[in-house]
Chain A
Amino acid sequence: QQQVKQSPQSLIVQKGGISIINCAYENTAFDYFPWYQQFPGKGPALLIAIRPDVSEKKEGRFTISFNKSAKQFSLHIMDSQPGDSATYFCAAIAGGGNKLTFGTGTQLKVEL
């Protein structure tokens, strides 16, 4: 049972454009939503995270938008750069601890 659905599976964006990745969840007990970035041959690295008591969080070019009523959240990458080309995973945690439920991943390619 996939508890966090992520789309699209792959995404190609032109340099300077906006990359948008969407996730939806079913478990209302989830209370922490991090995004991880993974480069080939590396482990995932925490990019940005949000709690459901806020609707948006911005860190540099990365923004999370959160819609609690729709049980959806999304990652926006502004001014996308070739160095952003990686696989992005949304995730969710319920009730503290470190048991992450991951989305299926989005492979982003930023072209010149």
Chain B
Amino acid sequence: KAGVTQTPRYLIKTRGQQVTLSCSPISGHRSVSWYQQTPGQGLQFLFEYFSETQRNKGNFPGRFSGRQFSNSRSEMNVSTLELGDSALYLCASSEKNTGELFFGEGSRLTVL
């Protein structure tokens, strides 16, 4: 099976812009989670989608949003970008509700 695929892998934006990141989960996996990884804050949970419904949400402002499509593919959007949004955004998929997550290689966002 192909692994979790995230696009784009790298992107540079300026403050105030918005960005959309895409994630294709492993075939058959219905749960998709998003995490933000930074040197200062580590790995932080953003949100989880299951069967097109947001099941869990982390403590991030409303500028961070996501959605999941009927084919389980997911997107996350960050609006009005701030310098502090520079991070590696990781998508993970799971077949079960067990915490056995399979991560993609991430999308590295730089905000200038």
Whether the Cβ atoms of A102 and B43 lie closer than 8 Å is yes
B99 and A43 form a contact (CB under 8 A): no
Q: Which residue of chain B lies nearest to A102 when distances are taken between CB atoms in the complex?
A: B43
Q: How many residues of A contact B (CB 8 A)?
A: 23
Q: Does B33 contact A (CB under 8 A)?
A: yes
A-B CB pair tally, cutoff 8 Å:
66
The answer to whether A43 and B33 touch across the interface, beta carbons within 8 angstroms, is no
In the complex, how many residues of chain B place their beta carbon closer than 8 angstroms to a beta carbon of chain A? Answer: 25
B55-89 CB mask vs A (1 if < 8 Å, else 0) is 11010000000000000000000000000000000
**B99/A93 in contact, CB under 8 A:** yes
Residues of A96-112 at the interface with B, using a CB-CB cut-off of 8 Å, are 96-105
CB of B90 within 8 A of CB of A43, answer yes
Known contacts A102-B43, A104-B42; is A34 also within 8 Å of B90 by CB? no
Measured CA separation A75–B45 after assembly (Å): 22
User: Contact at A99–B33, with CB atoms within 8 Å?
Assistant: yes
Q: What's the nearest-Cβ distance from chain B to residue A21, in Å?
A: 14
Is A66 an interface residue, CB under 8 A from the partner?
no
